[in-house]
Structure 1
Amino acid sequence: MAIQADPELQSVSPERQGRRPGKVIALLNQKGGAGKTTLATHLAGELALQGSRVTLLDADPQGSALDWAQRRLQSGQERLYGVFGLARDSLHQEAPQIALQADFVVIDGPPRVAALARSALLAADLVLIPVQPSAYDVWASHEMVQLITEARVFRPQLRAAFVINRRVVGTVIGREARAALADQPFAALETEVSQRIVFADSVAGGRLACEVAPQCAAAREVVALAQAVREVLR
């Protein structure tokens, strides 16, 4: 069951028309399994917990973020931010209108759908590229880099950064991945997000890691990620 857009997001209220639009953050990777949806829901949640008005757009035809939001609704959890599906290539036209009603718009992008990915790029102020610390993920990122390079022809102000995600705690693979990304035209955020059971447990119940275990390392990593994103967007 899809969660519909908030009615107030369907049009821009008169008092908001003169307001500077919120920032649009797109999480994109043409390789599946990079953890986009987990990062998108947690990043949106942390920004909302910090007091920002946030909307998450599920632009993945699989609708995983919508499923997460539905589980949250069914379990009676507090609604932190609006989530609705927008898996169509008019995303770049609709997301800026939604941004007039939010401080941040987070887009959970699609894997392997080039038209949707291009539309998300044209809507975004910042693109985060989640990569797992493996050679396969680094190699697969070249396609995303090419799409961003093309988008910058139309949006030269578009910013992009890699996020090392699902790093296995206690290994050196993360450092090796960071070294492999050094030749890319975009930097990798210093903040890394590790592979932790609490992420899987929280997603299954439509919750955030900080709601399952407030003082856990995963929650601290998400806070650091949100801070890094704010700094990039300043």
Structure 2
Amino acid sequence: MILVVGNTKGGVGKTTLAVNLAIARALDGRDVLLVDGDEQATAIGFTELRTEQLGRPGYTAVSLHGAAIRTQTRQLAPKYADVVIDVGGRDTGSLRAALTVADTVLIPVQPRSFDLWAIDNIAALVREAREINDRLRAVVVLNAADAQGADNDAAAEALGEADGLEYLPTPIGRRKAFPNAAAGGRSVLELTPRDPKAAQELAAMVKAVFV
């Protein structure tokens, strides 16, 4: 399966989800390719840290940009069970190329007004991509959701009405476990002591995305 984690809005936690999803699949015994399509190269930097800390990342990581994401992902995908592509938070050639080869795009959105207002932009890109890639599944999920309050419910209702997007009822809370794990080159599934809520939320998302 080829999964893109992307949004035209920056700062929504795309790379954090991408590396955690890649590791989760690798821990399940899958051969995973992580493609860093962001010019900031955060996923590659994380992988280098993970290799320093653990000796090996457990997955393969490459950096690709622009049209190379489309051409080289097509060539590499048959060698792997899963491909996870992390792209930057803008309308870029890398994001557009990734959408043309993906089976699914996961769109993380924080329950904040600016994030919700930007959802129409990525929805428009999904519609354009489907003219080339009619199998593209587009799912949107709340990331860094509030522990309590009405904002999550209001955001979920708004996202459920987004044209052409499927809302996943598997929110990821705003939990320190994610940055704490990343600082050590790890997923929340590998954190000691484990944060059970973070691990459960990630596991639920993996199950919902990789169907």
Report the TM range for the smaller structure's normalisation. Answer: over 0.9
Matched residue pairs, number?
209
Q: Deviations over 1:110-149 (max 9, x none)?
A: 2214211110101111011100011211111111110110
Q: Deviations over 1:166-196 (max 9, x none)?
A: 0021223211101111221212111111110
Ranges in structure 2 where 5+ consecutive residues have no aligned partner: none
Instruction: Give the Å deviation of 1:154.
Output: 0.9
Ranges in structure 1 where 5+ consecutive residues have no aligned partner: 1-22
2:196 corresponds in structure 1 to 216
Q: How large is the RMSD of aligned CA atoms in angstroms? A: 1.3
1:3 corresponds in structure 2 to none
Q: Aligned AA for 1:26?
A: V
SS at match of 1:75: helix
Confirm or deny: 8 A CA contact 1:26 1:107 kept in the other structure.
Answer: yes
Percent identity, aligned pairs only, is: 35
Q: Deviations over 1:21-47 (max 9, x none)?
A: xx1000111111000000000011111
Q: Deviations over 1:74-133 (max 9, x none)?
A: 123542211121123221111121111111100001221421111010111101110001
Q: 1:46 aligns with which of 12, 15, 24?
A: 24
Q: Aligned AA for 2:189?
A: C
Alpha-carbon distance between aligned partners in 2 of 1:175 and 1:78, rounded to the nearest angstrom: 40
2:47 corresponds in structure 1 to 69
Alpha-carbon distance between aligned partners in 2 of 1:172 and 1:113, rounded to the nearest angstrom: 30
The structure number with the bigger radius of gyration is 1
Alpha-carbon distance between aligned partners in 2 of 1:50 and 1:102, rounded to the nearest angstrom: 13
Matches within 5 A, 1:94-173: 94-173=72-151
Q: Give TM-score scaled by structure 1 length.
A: 0.86
Q: Aligned AA for 2:127?
A: T
Confirm or deny: 8 A CA contact 2:5 2:14 kept in the other structure.
Answer: yes
Q: Aligned AA for 1:102?
A: Y
Q: 1:225 aligns with which of 185, 205, 208?
A: 205
